[in-house]
Structure 1
Amino acid sequence: MTERIGSHAGGRRSESQSAALYEKAHQWIPDGVSRATLLRRPNPIYVDHGQGAWVTDVDGNRYLDCNNNFTSIIVGHANPAVTQAVSAQMARGTAFAMASNAEIELAALLCDRVGSFELIRFCNSGTEAVMGALKAARAFTGRPNVIKVEGAYHGTYDHAEASLASNPTNWGDAAAPVTVPYSVGTPDSVTEEVSVIHFNDAHGAREAIRRQGDRLAAVLLDVMPSQVGLPAIEPEFIAAVRDTTREVGALLVLDEVISFRLGYSGAQTLLGIDPDITAVAKIIGGGFPVGGVAGREGPMSTFARSGSARAKVPSGGTFTANPVTMAAGFATMSQLDHDAFARLDELGDAVRSGLRSAIDAAGVDWQVTGRGSLFKVHPHTRHIRNYRDAHLSSDEAAELEHFEHAVQAAGVYLSGGGFGSISLAATDDDIDFLLEGAAAAFAG
């Protein structure tokens, strides 16, 4: 049985070390943190260290980590094999203006796993991976426009974040969703170059793709988007997107930044999808900053020089394919064999089943979605097919925030929006601990 510490209020008390650090940080950092996703009331929690499935904050409170740095940690914190690989590389140096064999080893591992990964090009984040994938699609097709799913998060690139947080006041008619810029100052051209469709709307996808026709470079698709509620993707929708993009000569770009943790060869193999380009990140870096654009030789050739001419899509970065990241990624991915993913499925099934039982026992109108090692709780029972189904009213959002605070007080650290993930380091006892905390939160 994993040792527990009874009180977890310290991360939220105004006199806590986390609160003091947050106040101090405002002297130099806008909003006190460099990641908006860390903000929670009344202050973000400041971590001291992590081990396995658990993290300890600066006030000494321990939490079962069901956030896992927003799904990027999959074998647990301070994993011995990863630590050894990183330490060995650091002893030889951390960054060079030269290529390394570590990049080749991770590239070969990933391309051997996934049928559509004929070539891969590394970068430093999921945002960069999506941006690079879209640039490659535009360069390969010679077309400017993109279609994406309403509510889907794909990083902070202007075109990819369109309609990320649209709401009933601006999202338009269901039959014609409006493209809504996310950040203030987004160029007007984004609304002209990005069209929005509903997740799981096969008819709407076909119409939108055909309407764009020879101006469409790509459809950008996450097969299980967290901001859309982790709904199951419908086969008819997959077929509509894949068949119609081919019909008009556009590319299918999959965002597997998160969903790559669903199986040995990613979600695309589980679902039978054949993309042209895939954006990957998170777990492939073993806890270090990473991204990758992988795909068929044709579109991936846009990253390669042709003779003395520069590439159609030049790419690089001071820390791209950093040998420490590549070593950590290889050490992580090498542990993720078929048995490892079967265990992650088992853990995820136990969480979702247990949460549903807790909901039934509490008699509350909630539900749970997800697959593999991912789960999400919703403070309503609407059938979720798309973003508008999952979108919360102000009362529902307040109810979910209350639940998250109660679970955190019980020693479980979730992502925002009721979203969680499980690492391979979690034990059956850890899952019981999670479910006990959730049951108490539902009952309260």
Structure 2
Amino acid sequence: MAERIGSSASSGRTESQSAALYATAQQWIPDGVSRATLLRRPNPIYVDHGKGAWVTDVDGNRYLDCNNNFTSIIVGHANPAIAEAVGAQLARGTAFALASNVEIELASLLCDRVESFELIRFCNSGTEAVMGALKAARAFTGRPNVIKVEGAYHGTYDHAEASLASDPTNWGDAAAPATVPYASGTPDSVIEEVGIIHFNDADGARAAIERQGDRLAAVLLDVMPSQVGLPTIEPEFVAAVREATREVGALLVLDEVISFRLGYSGAQTLLGIEPDITAVAKIIGGGFPVGGVAGREGPMSTFARTGGSRAKVPSGGTFTANPITMAAGLATMNQLDRAAFARLDEMGEAVRSGLRSAIERAGVDWQVTGRGSLFKVHPHTRHIRNYRNAHLSSDEAAEVERFEHAIQAGGVYLSGGGFGSLSLAMTDDDIAHLLAAAAAALADSAS
């Protein structure tokens, strides 16, 4: 089948192969997919293959991939260096109940790059990494409670997903954000064990940390949370969180699952933040399932056995640090030198600048946020400092969905909510294609 730009699925045609596959999938899989984030109206798109910066679906439609498996792909699809490393390891075996030296190589590379990474322990996902980081913080401090930012996504752990999707009906007073369980059946204890703060609210964060006092194990912080709108973090907020956690003896846990793609040594180095523990994932696995908990020797020692006794935080996992993932991760990270991040920054700024120009030409009241290789469009001009500023009304959410359908028809695949990420496989022509498709989609929004 000849490849073409744009999606028949996005226009609602039910005769597509993607639509047929979705109908079949619903017989065996709840909701038809195992990842809720793949659901799109009228149906998910089923992929055939990806190469470089582009993906092709089962109907032959090509899309510039600005989703990149939710930011985990950073050097492009079917990258030759990754394919070579994985192929060589496949010939030797995929997973063993024995350790492998490539785990040491990837651990060494990551710890050499980031000052706060004195030790690292691998796992299989960002959710596991955050969960492990919080467990380590509790074990190290001997305390039960955590604080997180309203609206911030940290995976599917009960405590980490509290107030992920709160809304005006339940999020409480601005001065005292409510702790809102996300999944039905979440234990009531989560409400008592998780405090909620606003992003960029220095005074509120300090007060919440002091209020928790000797019950607080950690503050969990993403420095540029996508669900909060990719806002710019304010230095005063960072300073307040870091100082207050130290004063009460709690830890600062950074979630760099996404933001690690912002720089050679992660976002923490760019922003001058000194965390105790960091959760990483996505790009460090080269397109394979991965996670990691990294940090100072003290809290990381909770994962180690002492005197023949089991660790305070035992951790395992059948596929943890499997040599396929470790080889792919090493092949990826070796390509991500300082020049690579400079190129990603250059492309990101070109995209954000181009989108702002397109918004101005279309005459719509939209805006763009982001940094490095990340960008997000918003169908309003409210100044975004926190989740409540970024939260969309039903009409605004519908506008973003129309934009996503229109840009998808133009051959660009975004994440939900107008969120996008770039890869090193993209060329200047690809960026021009993205901006042309966005301009057309914005023009549709204005009509």
Q: Same fold (TM over 0.5)?
A: yes
Matching residue of 1:21: 21
SS in 2 for 1:325: helix
Equivalent residue runs for 1:224-235 within 5 Å:
224-235=224-235
Does 2:325 correspond to 1:328?
Answer: no
Paired position in structure 2 for 1:305 = 305
**Residue number in structure 2 paired with 1:125:** 125
Cα distance in structure 1, aligned partners of 2:389 and 2:26: 37
Match of 2:149 in 1: 149
1:159-197 C-alpha deviation (Å, 9 max, x unpaired): 000000000000000000000000000000000000000
Counterpart of 1:87 in 2: which secondary structure? helix
1:286 corresponds to: 286
Q: Is the 8 A contact 2:107 2:120 kept in 1?
A: yes
Paired residue secondary structure (1:264) = coil
Q: Is this contact kept in 2: 1:10–1:61, CA < 8 A?
A: no
Aligned to 1:218: 218
Q: How does 1:13-412 map to 2 (within 5 A)?
A: 13-412=13-412
Cα distance, 1:10 vs structure 2: 4.2
Measure, in 1, the Cα distance between the counterparts of 2:167 and 2:28. 33
Q: Structure 1 residue 6: deviation in Å?
A: 4.0
- The secondary structure found in structure 2 opposite 1:55 is strand
Please tell me the residue identity of whatever aligns with 1:331.
A
| Alpha-carbon displacement from aligned partner over 1:268-295 (angstroms, at most 9, x marks no partner) | 0000000000000000000000000000
Identity, in percent, stands at: 86
Amino acid at match of 2:126: G
Secondary structure of the structure 1 residue equivalent to 2:253:
strand
Contact 2:3 2:60 in 1 (8 A): no
Secondary structure of 1:254's partner? strand
- Is the Cα contact below 8 Å between 2:257 and 2:280 reproduced in 1? yes
Segments of 5+ residues of structure 1 without an aligned counterpart are none
State the TM-score, normalizing by the size of structure 1. Answer: 0.99
Large movers: runs of 4+ above 3 Å: none
CA offsets, 1:303-349, max 9 Å, x none?
A: 00001100000000000000000000000000000000000000000
- TM-score, normalising length: structure 2: 0.98
Instruction: Please tell me whether the aligned partners of residues 9 and 19 of structure 2 are also in contact (alpha carbons under 8 angstroms).
Output: no
Amino acid in the other structure paired with 1:297: E
Q: Partner amino acid for 1:291?
A: G
Distance 1:239 1:246, change over 3 A: same
Shift of 1:105: 0.4
Q: Which SS does the other structure have where 2:172 is aligned?
A: coil
- 2: CA distance between counterparts of 1:294 and 1:113? 12
- Would the aligned equivalents of 2:9 and 2:45 in 1 still touch at CA under 8 Å? no
The secondary structure found in structure 2 opposite 1:273 is: coil
**Matched residue of 1:42: which SS?**
coil
Residues of 2 paired with 1:185 and 1:230: CA distance? 30
Measure the CA separation in 1 of the matches of 2:9 and 2:229.
Answer: 30
Aligned mates of 1:191, 1:91 — CA distance in 2 = 49
Q: Distance between the aligned counterparts of 2:38 and 2:65, measured in 1? A: 14
1:131 to 1:311, Cα distance in 2 relative to 1, 3 A: same
* Distance in 1, Cα, partners of 2:443 & 2:293: 45
Counterpart CA distance in 2 for 1:209 and 1:287 is 37
Q: Distance in 1 between matches of 2:175 and 2:8?
A: 46
Instruction: Identify if the C-alpha distance between structure 1 residues 300 and 416 changes in structure 2 by more than 3 Å, giving closer, same or farther.
Output: same
Give the Cα separation in 2 of the matches to 1:13 and 1:218.
Answer: 49
* Residue pair 1:171, 1:179 contacting (<8 A) in 2 also: yes
Extract unaligned runs of 5+ from structure 2. Answer: none
- Alignment partner, residue 9 of structure 1: 8
